[in-house]
Structure 1
């Protein structure tokens, strides 16, 4: 293991040392070095208070950050750094490392003292094990979010969580109710974009339902539909496995069928149908995402993808254009990624459904590429033009609809003179009853 501290980071460490204080790189950066991966940021811990550190680093562009301004950041785009005072009243490195959450994070390094590991951090990293740093569950009691952090680290680094740590996590999962929703949002978002996120949700399902109780409603829920071979939750897992690891897509898949238990009904011949389940699932997803304070842009896109995940392209071009105008041509690719993931999690015997999906996608993509792809309000006609042709006020909208359809079908170009002549030639006014 060859550890080389980047020059800008080393200069900060040396400046702190020259002012009579201790300074060590701790946590994630050291963990990454042991894993032989490149750190993305550098946390520095010291026995000095931050006011003294800021004075020592007067030549640097610094700022306070963290809860209660507990960290001092240094502006450096290539090597982001944050400095904090030792966490405990003993104000020693050993006590600070003992307060860290997992052994893999209870590591420190300086060029003078080398790699410092008072627990089993290096060994656990080598054995790909996540273990609580200490002899009890106090880290989860102090901050229950660490339960999700353990799952996220396990997923990100393909490490297993040791049995005792898992027991501590399960025993304290009710405490997640005390965690701020936006903190849960941040960890959930990271978990959802890792490979095999569905594996970790399934494995730690009893933890996830503590903050996503809606998932419990679809567990073991049989859709009673020949197009499905899994219960709704398992269908969701398979679809998550299939879709790209993009947050909006995975959120859409996670909640796309969440309303099925509430929308089920029986037809006269005994079939189970889920009328309007896409819209209802979209509404439920909006409530969930708002609960966790996702940003407006993410919420709008996820809700839209869910609402239209069962959309079938009609033959009527006017209706298609209305859909594109409302949905947005820029998100068609993502919609069909969701639709395909949904399909691949169904009964493979119904192969014709995939054909329909692909054909609809090609129709929409070709349509958006055509020069005739215009909005209805972009037609080169005004109401007064139609009145001059003797068309009654009440019929203007209907004539515009006919013209719009014919423009989309390529029967006429969107040119004012041609449109006026076309209306007269086809006697469109007589087609309106």
Structure 2
């Protein structure tokens, strides 16, 4: 077969390193995801090499050739080589021992057989090796599964997922990213071992979930494997199959959510926020005498379960708060005019990027409504257009943007204390309402009048 790495500079460095190792009498192959992605025509960023030598032998050969190495995982036979700025992981062929904890092999046995090394891998599409002269080694028909767009476990599926339950979420992530269908026997094995996900470190789970959520085919993955995802995010399970009983929706809460995630900008912040945007609906559901469903306050009620899930997944506090703000304001009515958009900006900590993310969530939410009720798409765009105008004209929406500061208020005689902040906020409100120009002289006049009234109120109290 043709060299799939011809146009990839990092791939050329990997081939160079393989040549150095083999010139020294060793055997080496490119393996795993880089082979899969190259065959799919996808961008390849990480290159893994498998070698029949122990890491110390590999290190000696490479260092003698002037290639710097780093001992990154020598307990498992892994060395990182850096060839002309390209990092390459080189791992000794190995056979994994028993997985008594459902997460890591109890032991690793090194082997001289590339076939034995490939046999320990998770899915057939990841169990291929490629060599610049010997071509493709594909003992488990991974290339055929690539062509069939099928995800299939290597060997007995249930045993594969019993060894390391994280492979279950990896499978759903691959389905989301590649748009592949999971082989029926493989899917059954995933579900049979899903309870072992409880043994996996939450950071590893969060990483797989994020990749899943940002996939191009996330709707299908969320719909097909809601039960598996619900194992690690139980907060979503009440949404599954929940009939909304309203003309605005043609999908239950979960399918509406799955479509919304698909439509949202494929970035972690917007995808996580969209996953949680309607999580408060089941707990706030009411139905009127005409049989129409309502979800009053669902955005606010969705914040605690969303935060609970993200904290359990050990996401950063700042990221959790940003997601929570998007959940809270995703259905907040906003008139697309500068003074109203600036008020919304203030609620979002004056962060234009967060407002853009909110517009993405609003757009995705509206696209997932019944076709006759998708006016929110244009509305979200109008808000974002208004934001562009505000930024282009440098219109103030934070105290820092005022043509006056707290020092100026102190200089005019206002005492140190909470009055300073209150006066600045009052000025900002007037400026955003366009009843006060953002000009120093006008702001000082406003401040003097404001402080005079406040002094009178204090004396009368």
Q: Does 1:331 align with 2:354?
A: yes
Tell me whether 349-358 or 76-85 shows the greater mean CA deviation: 349-358
Q: Write the distance in 2 (CA, Å) between the matches of 1:424 and 1:97.
A: 77
Q: 1:252 — aligned with what?
A: 273
- Kindly state the Cα deviation for residue 185 of structure 1 after the two structures are TM-superposed: 1.4
Q: Write the distance in 2 (CA, Å) between the matches of 1:119 and 1:424.
A: 80
Q: Write the distance in 2 (CA, Å) between the matches of 1:173 and 1:245.
A: 26
Q: 2:333 — aligned with what?
A: 312
The 5-angstrom pairing of residues 106-185 of structure 1 reads: 106-135=127-156, 137-185=158-206
Judged with a 3 Å threshold, the aligned counterparts in structure 2 of structure 1 residues 70 and 415 are, in CA distance, closer, same or farther, namely same
Q: Does 1:292 align with 2:313?
A: yes
Q: Does 1:82 align with 2:105?
A: no
Q: Paired residue for 1:407, among 427, 431, 437?
A: 431
Q: 2:106 — aligned with what?
A: none
Contact 2:336–2:386 at 8 Å: present in 1 too?
no
The 5-angstrom pairing of residues 279-428 of structure 1 reads: 279-313=300-334, 321=342, 323-327=344-348, 328-350=351-373, 357-376=380-399, 378=402, 380=404, 381-382=408-409, 385=412, 403-421=427-445
- C-alpha RMSD over aligned residues: 3.7
Judged with a 3 Å threshold, the aligned counterparts in structure 2 of structure 1 residues 247 and 4 are, in CA distance, closer, same or farther, namely closer
Contact 1:141–1:172 at 8 Å: present in 2 too?
yes
Judged with a 3 Å threshold, the aligned counterparts in structure 2 of structure 1 residues 60 and 429 are, in CA distance, closer, same or farther, namely same
- Kindly state the Cα deviation for residue 415 of structure 1 after the two structures are TM-superposed: 3.6
Contact 2:343–2:397 at 8 Å: present in 1 too?
no
Judged with a 3 Å threshold, the aligned counterparts in structure 2 of structure 1 residues 368 and 10 are, in CA distance, closer, same or farther, namely closer
Contact 1:290–1:299 at 8 Å: present in 2 too?
yes
Structure 1 unmatched ranges of 5 or more: none
C-alpha distance after superposition, 1:28-74 (max 9, x if no partner): 23333443555333211122211221122112222133595641112
Q: Does 1:62 align with 2:93?
A: no
Q: Write the distance in 1 (CA, Å) between the matches of 2:128 and 2:419.
A: 77
Contact 1:379–1:414 at 8 Å: present in 2 too?
yes
Contact 1:239–1:253 at 8 Å: present in 2 too?
yes
C-alpha distance after superposition, 1:325-374 (max 9, x if no partner): 34123321111111122122234444665565555555554444444415
Q: Paired residue for 2:114, among 93, 105, 124?
A: 93
Q: Write the distance in 2 (CA, Å) between the matches of 1:201 and 1:250.
A: 12
- Kindly state the Cα deviation for residue 211 of structure 1 after the two structures are TM-superposed: 1.0
Secondary structure of 1:25's match? strand
Q: Paired residue for 2:33, among 28, 34, 39?
A: 28
Number of equivalenced pairs? 428
Q: 2:2 — aligned with what?
A: 2
Q: 1:211 — aligned with what?
A: 232
Judged with a 3 Å threshold, the aligned counterparts in structure 2 of structure 1 residues 67 and 337 are, in CA distance, closer, same or farther, namely farther
Secondary structure of 2:3's match? coil
Structure 2 unmatched ranges of 5 or more: 6-10, 96-108
- Kindly state the Cα deviation for residue 276 of structure 1 after the two structures are TM-superposed: 3.6
Contact 2:194–2:228 at 8 Å: present in 1 too?
yes
Q: Write the distance in 2 (CA, Å) between the matches of 1:119 and 1:349.
A: 49
